[in-house]
Chains A and B, each alone.
Chain A
């Protein structure tokens, strides 16, 4: 259990100091029932396939994670030293729940799992820096006929 009030003061102060202004608009997209939707995961944990380019310290690019990948073929090169990684090393699903998503598909709770998922390295970028990458991701997601994205921070 970790809440801001349980964290060391210096860590909590850093998190609360982040710029988090609301946007000028508040888009809201609805869709068919969840059991009919095609779902992708997008993580900001700096994950990628073993052998892909590592994320660099300042990096706004993304990596593609095939839906067929074995979670054990994923690694993490996020630049932050401020969060736990031992959980990820034990079980990728604690960060990137692809196995859980497949289970929900097989149980009929979602329509299908996307062919491709995506990884960024979240590092408190201002919105205008991230926007081009996200709009490009949107195009890739549409190609895959994705109707819902689950955002997984770290």
Chain B
């Protein structure tokens, strides 16, 4: 956002903004930013906390009244409200959505495990969707089964999986993985209890067969002789912090 700030000001439009990585904003010497000590992905603090969000926004907008430029970087004083998402009840703590032990069904291999996992999670995703009145719209245009089978082919060494889409390989893989991950998170949030974002993230990347399948496909792509595909596999499929487990031997892109 620093670059956007600089060029908009250069065009005569005043800016203020949220900084998530203070040291980087400081190095760029920018017009007006409010650093916040919040998790990446939550620049206004916490979901369903309108009063807190309004405080953050009001603080950022307040910097527009400052006259002591050209560099202003302020710190927001408070941490975000406790990050508990999902179920609205105050019952016992959140726990792993389902037991993943059991037969994979008719489909062999990791893709088969994921398809079985999808079936086990479906009732909880339905609880979430009913409670929210909606479900996140899929972006890939593919069914879950198409995505899983395509990832399975990739993980198995296929260079050009037979997926019925006009999207280039990295795009259907990325959007397809996003669709599935979002659906899994909805299922997890359909469970009783409250989960933090870190618990949800850890659950997905450490405990699901889908994460292992994504990791296996990412390892194949990371080893591709095509530079762009290799880079995509290294940096765009698995969070760096989980690469040791899911992509052993592959160096994270820094």
Contact = CB atoms under 8 A, between A and B. Distances in A.
Interface of A: 1-4, 8, 10-11, 13-18, 20-23, 25-31, 33-34, 37, 39, 42, 44, 50, 54, 56-57, 72, 75, 77, 79-91, 93-95, 97, 99-101, 103-104, 109-110, 120, 122, 125, 127, 130-131, 134-135, 137-139, 141-142, 146-154
Given A26-B71, A87-B41, A148-B61, A130 B4 contact: yes
Nearest to A51: B137
Name the residue in B6, B64, B171 with the highest tally of chain A Cβ atoms < 10 Å from its Cβ: B64
A34 B4 contact: no
Contact of B236 (A15, A79, A142): A79
B8 to A, nearest CB: 6
A134 B43 contact: no
Contacts, number: 267
Query: Which among B28, B137, B252 has the highest number of chain A CB atoms within 10 Å?
Result: B28
Nearest to B171: A56
Given A14-B254, A82-B239, A87-B42, A110 B70 contact: no
B6 A27 contact: yes
Contacts of A37: 14, 64
B232 A28 contact: no
A104 B232 contact: no
Given A22-B28, A57-B170, A81-B237, A75 B139 contact: yes
Give 3 closest A-B pairs by Cβ, nearest first. Answer: A151-B17, A91-B47, A84-B41
Given A21-B28, A34-B61, 18 more contacts: A1-B38, A4-B22, A11-B239, A17-B254, A20-B25, A56-B171, A77-B175, A86-B86, A86-B189, A87-B197, A122-B1, A130-B3, A131-B3, A138-B8, A138-B11, A148-B16, A150-B17, A152-B18
Q: How many B residues touch the partner, as a band?
A: 35 or more
Contacts of B9: 27-29
Contacts of A148: 13-16, 61, 64
B27 A21 contact: yes
A39 B41 contact: no
A27 B33 CA distance: 14
Contact of A94 (B21, B45, B171): B45
Interface in B1-56: 1-25, 27-29, 31, 33, 37-50, 53-54, 56
Contact of B58 (A79, A82, A104): A104
Contacts of B20: 153-154
A141 B54 contact: no
B208 interface: no
Nearest to A13: B254
B92 to A, nearest CB: 20
